[in-house]
Amino acid sequence: LENATPYRVEYRVLHPSGTVRWLDTRGYLHRDTHGRPVRVLGISMDVTERKDADLALRESSQRKDEFL
């Protein structure tokens, strides 16, 4: 954030139900004309289904390689 470039991070959170969810958070720091931080603009998206599909694909590929 110090160099005013957008950021993106993926991380896991524990939902109150006890399930693990993956979030993709993106944003940037908005500054005024004097360069002072004014606000952070961004979004957090639940990407659990995509992460689960990626994991299943990697596991399938690994099983195929082991078979061959």
**% of the chain exceeding 70 in pLDDT:** 97
User: What confidence score (pLDDT) does residue 44 get?
Assistant: 96
CA-to-CA separations, 60 to 39, 47, 52, 54, in angstroms, rounded? 44, 20, 12, 10
Instruction: Quickly list H helices, the chain.
Output: 48-67
Residue 45 has pLDDT above 70, yes or no: yes
* pTM of the entire predicted model: 0.69
Confidence of residue 33 (pLDDT cuts 50, 70, 90): very high
